[in-house]
Amino acid sequence: MQAINPATGELLQEYPEATTEVVDQALTAAVEAQNRWRRASFAQRAAVLERAASKLRQRREEFARLAALEMGKPIREGRAEVDKCAWVCEHYAKHAAAMLTPEEVASDARRSFVTFNPLGVVLAVMPWNFPFWQVFRFAAPALMAGNAGLLKHASNVPGCALAIEEVLGDAGLPKGLFRTLLVGSRAVEAIIADPRVAAVTLTGSEAAGRAVAACAGAHLKKTVLELGGSDPYVVLADADIERAAAVCAAARLINSGQSCIAAKRFVVERAVLEPFTALFVEHMRAARVGDPLAEETQVGPLARVDLRDELHAQVQASIARGARCLLGGEIPPGPGVFYPPTVLTDVAPGMPAWEEELFGPVAAIIAAADAEDAVRIANDCRFGLGAAVFTEDAARGERLAAEELEAGCCFVNAAVRSDPRLPFGGVKASGYGRELSHYGLKEFVNIKTVWVG
């Protein structure tokens, strides 16, 4: 397993893959550790997560640099990611006990109530784009609920994967309760099938989600899937166009455009299409592309060469079918897996920019006749992860977000983002289940009825 710097192509380090014997030992150790951990008090569990948060902040610079080297994340964004991991640890340390308090329910029993017991060992199959946050987003609630965790991280971020295990171990998590398994995708099916695994969570591509769901379903294992997205940002004629253009451009370029909830499609009422497009292109052109370790960099390299090649093919196919390229659209010369901020307009059905997820700094601008048409276009997509609407009419924006847009997370006059206090997840081909908030905490528990006569 190799870690390669996408900014230079340099081989950073090679790691031996875990053997089947190592995986088997990890599963046995996780079961044994979880049997003890499930009996630990919430205060004991919280103390571990609070120490993990402290250690994350102490090593913020180290981990931000590691993410920059392994997958190209701009260093400033890496620091923010590590801080967010600390936040989610502290959030569940503080609130999990109350969220999982047994609930009394009136019935014809002398007493009836609902308890929330851990399921056991949870396998997490995680992506490279937010190599720390995606893992802690699952691990903090799962561990506070009394579960064990096994991490199969993306193969291009092995250093980040091992660092997470180290942080949790240094924070006092019992040995074996959380383990990183350096295995490839081919090993996942056998791990899911193992009776010692109780449930699976995956963040990744639609194809990976289908494969994991099929395997888990065959073995009757609970799953939570957070898959791809092609988030629409609807810009209505009454929006603050300058603000909307700035927010939309920043939302498209988050993590160099490599985010499931990055803005992808910009559906703009025709009355403001021209001024919005001009301002949006200005913001995209001004974004600084370069070395992810440089403080001024806003857009780093894509994570792998194959990903850049796929993105460029989508851009070229869209142009061949009638889209106009207003900015970018060409692979730059020189080393590194860079792709420039790119803006496509005249995007229409049948083009990859309309139909598919563009995982990189490529924006698709789509004209809508009016607000009703804009919502129709926004929903004309197999994905449903995030969405946003920009309007100066707050009540109108709230209604469209709450009732009309088909997505798991809908924002008004702001970019879509995740927050430990709010549920996160999608509908349609973006997956099912929820992470974060009390909804995410209860995904991997046995919601048990107790009836006392």
**What is the per-residue pLDDT across 345-359, written as a single tens digit (0 to 9) for each?**
999 999 999 999 999
- In the chain, the number of structural domains is 2
104 with 240, same domain?
no
What is residue 333's predicted lDDT score, i.e. its pLDDT? 95
The CA-atom distances, in angstroms, between 242 and each of 248, 283, 361, 370, 436 are: 10, 10, 20, 19, 32
Q: Is the dihedral of CA 140, 142, 357, 185 positive or negative?
A: positive
**Residue numbers in the chain where pLDDT is lower than 70:** none
156 with 188, same domain?
yes
Single out the catalytic residue among 81, 226, 406, 435.
Answer: 226
Contact 405, 234 (CB under 8 A): yes
Q: Kindly state whether residue 425 falls inside one of the protein's structural domains.
A: no
298 with 390, same domain?
yes
Backbone angles phi, psi at 244, to 5 degrees: -60, -45
For residue 46, the domain's CATH number is: 3.40.605.10
99 with 166, same domain?
yes
User: Is the pTM above the cut of 0.85?
Assistant: yes
Residue 226 annotated among the catalytic residues of the structure: yes
Q: Kindly state whether residue 81 falls inside one of the protein's structural domains.
A: yes
- Please state, rounded to an integer, the average pLDDT across all residues of the chain: 98
247 with 215, same domain?
no
The CA-atom distances, in angstroms, between 321 and each of 1, 182, 293, 324, 417 are: 39, 42, 37, 9, 32
Tell me the residue range of the domain where 299 lies: 231-412
Q: Kindly state whether residue 419 falls inside one of the protein's structural domains.
A: no
201 with 238, same domain?
no
Residue 215 annotated among the catalytic residues of the structure: no
Single out the catalytic residue among 248, 260, 381, 410.
Answer: 260
236 with 222, same domain?
no
Please give the Cα distance from 237 to 440 (Å, whole number). 36
What is residue 99's predicted lDDT score, i.e. its pLDDT? 98
What is residue 359's predicted lDDT score, i.e. its pLDDT? 98
262 with 211, same domain?
no
308 with 204, same domain?
no
What is residue 75's predicted lDDT score, i.e. its pLDDT? 98
Please give the Cα distance from 132 to 279 (Å, whole number). 33
245 with 392, same domain?
yes
Q: Kindly state whether residue 265 falls inside one of the protein's structural domains.
A: yes
C-alpha 365: how far from chain center: 24
Q: Tell me the two tokens of residue 146.
A: 């009394």
